[in-house]
Amino acid sequence: MPAADIVRTVTLAAPPAVVFDAVTTGTGGWLWPGEVEPRVGGAAGPGGVVTAWRPGRHYANRMEGEGG
């Protein structure tokens, strides 16, 4: 199966810093088990890597392979 990017954009009724913290800390209860290493190139959950890191503003990761 060829690789594909999945991108999702949503508008939330919360300040960017609150949302940023919600998806980069303590995610095991709702997103994936594991923590995010706070830097580009850091670990992001099981098998992922951080591809964008601007604290409080912009976060992106990439996961490949099984479950990614």
The per-residue pLDDT for 5 is 77
- Domain map (residue ranges) of the chain: 16-63
The per-residue pLDDT for 30 is 67
How do residues 53-67 score in pLDDT, each as one tens digit?
A: 999 888 888 887 665
More confident residue, 4 or 44: 44
How do residues 13-45 score in pLDDT, each as one tens digit?
A: 999 888 888 888 877 666 667 788 999 999 987
Q: How far apart are CA 13 and CA 40, in angstroms?
A: 27
User: Which segment of 2-11, 12-21, 49-58 scores lowest on mean pLDDT?
Assistant: 2-11
